[in-house]
Structure 1
Amino acid sequence: MEIIAERGLERLTMAGLGCRVGMSSGHLLYYFKTKDELLLQTLQWSEERLGAERRAALARQVPARERLDRLVDLYLPDGPRDPAWALWLEVWNRSQNADDEVRTRQLELELAWHRDLVALLVEGIDRGEFRPVDADRFATRTRALLDGLAVHLVVGLPGTDRETVLGHVRDHVDQSLAATPPSPVT
């Protein structure tokens, strides 16, 4: 994960990776066959680890909004060149030329976040913590917002930092989910 974040997949060689991890390139190719498979399996490993953190955070007995804030915190990159997000950028870039099986595997990783967000929204709505919204639609739009802001953050666009991004997301959630809609600004 770190070497892909440092160099990108195009500049990664199996020989260089093998030296870094103490294996031969032939041994790596035996297990992964291609750099694309190496990338996807590395992303799956990263998402499994992050998924365990996400599930633990969502299982806590605290208000839905607090769990939503934690989900957002886990979703967003820590900053420029975040290794997990570097994997996502590589996968998204390569997915336009990928076969259906690869895109299906990628979609499953993305849908894990989506399903957890929808379930949390439904719970918050049922408990009266969030105003009623179409949870699936809201989750789709929110993930698109998170993805867009995350890309700006991970590539290090000037003027984009984690606190600013978190502020934008908090505003979005406050304006969209407040149990009592905010009064219009006059």
Structure 2
Amino acid sequence: MEMIAERGLEQLTMAALGREVGMSSGHLLYYFGSKDELLLRTLEWSEGRLGAERGRLLARPEPARARLEAYVDLYVPDGHRDPHWILWLEVWNRSLNADEQGRDRQAAIEGAWHRDLVALLAEGVSRGEFRAVDADRFAARLRALLDGFSIHVAIGLRGTGRDQVLAHAREFLDEALGADA
């Protein structure tokens, strides 16, 4: 993951990766078959770790708003060249030429984030913590907003730092879900 984030997939060679992890490039190709498969498996591994962390934070005995802010905090990159987000940028870039199975795997990862957010929003609405919204539609919009801002943070776009993005997200949630949210 670090090598992909540091060099990008195009600049990464299986030989260099093999030297880094103590395997031959032939062994890497045997296990992964291609750089695209290596990328997807690395993303799935990274998302597995984030999914476990997301599950823990969503299970906390806190109000829905506090857990929603924790979800957003986990979603937004830590900063420029965040390795997890660089993986996503590489996957999205290669999605144009990906096969159906690759796109399905990507959709499954994104779907987990979406389902967790929908459930959290529905809980907040049912408890009266949030204004009544269609949880699925709201989740799609919020994730699109977070994706856009997160790309700016990950690529290091000037004037778009993590703290600014989190402030924008809090403001949006206040306005969209109610000031008491």
Same fold judged by TM-score > 0.5? yes
Q: Which residue of 2 aligns with 1:136?
A: 136
Q: Which residue of 1 aligns with 2:39?
A: 39
Q: Which residue of 2 aligns with 1:54?
A: 54
Shift of 1:178: 1.3
Question: Does the 8 Å CA contact 1:5/1:87 hold for their aligned counterparts?
Answer: yes
| Percentage identity across paired residues of the two chains | 68
Shift of 1:179: 6.4
CA RMSD of aligned residues (A): 1.0
Q: Which residue of 1 aligns with 2:29?
A: 29
Question: Does the 8 Å CA contact 1:129/1:179 hold for their aligned counterparts?
Answer: no
Question: Does the 8 Å CA contact 1:128/1:179 hold for their aligned counterparts?
Answer: no
Q: Which residue of 2 aligns with 1:20?
A: 20
> Does 1:114 find its partner at 2:114?
yes
- Which amino acid in 2 is paired with 1:125? V
Q: Which residue of 2 aligns with 1:74?
A: 74
- Distance in 1 of aligned mates of 2:78 and 2:7: 18
- Which amino acid in 1 is paired with 2:103? R
Shift of 1:139: 0.2
Size of the alignment, in residue pairs? 181
Question: Does the 8 Å CA contact 2:124/2:130 hold for their aligned counterparts?
Answer: yes
Shift of 1:180: 5.8
- Distance in 1 of aligned mates of 2:107 and 2:179: 32
- Which amino acid in 1 is paired with 2:178? A
- Which amino acid in 1 is paired with 2:140? T
Residues 142-157 of structure 1: matches in 2 within 5 Å?
Answer: 142-157=142-157
- Distance in 2 of aligned mates of 1:162 and 1:117: 20
Shift of 1:87: 0.1
Q: Secondary structure at the match of 1:96?
A: helix
- Which amino acid in 1 is paired with 2:27? H
Q: Which residue of 2 aligns with 1:124?
A: 124
Q: Secondary structure at the match of 1:147?
A: helix
- Distance in 1 of aligned mates of 2:162 and 2:90: 21
- Distance in 1 of aligned mates of 2:22 and 2:173: 46
Question: Does the 8 Å CA contact 2:129/2:180 hold for their aligned counterparts?
Answer: no
- Distance in 1 of aligned mates of 2:51 and 2:70: 12
**TM-score computed with the length of structure 2 as normaliser:** 0.98
> Does 1:5 find its partner at 2:5?
yes
Q: Which residue of 2 aligns with 1:184?
A: none
Which structure 2 residue ranges, 5 or more long, are not aligned? none
Question: Does the 8 Å CA contact 1:79/1:156 hold for their aligned counterparts?
Answer: yes
Q: Deviation string for 1:134-177 (max 9, x for gaps)?
A: 00000000000000000000000011111000000001100000
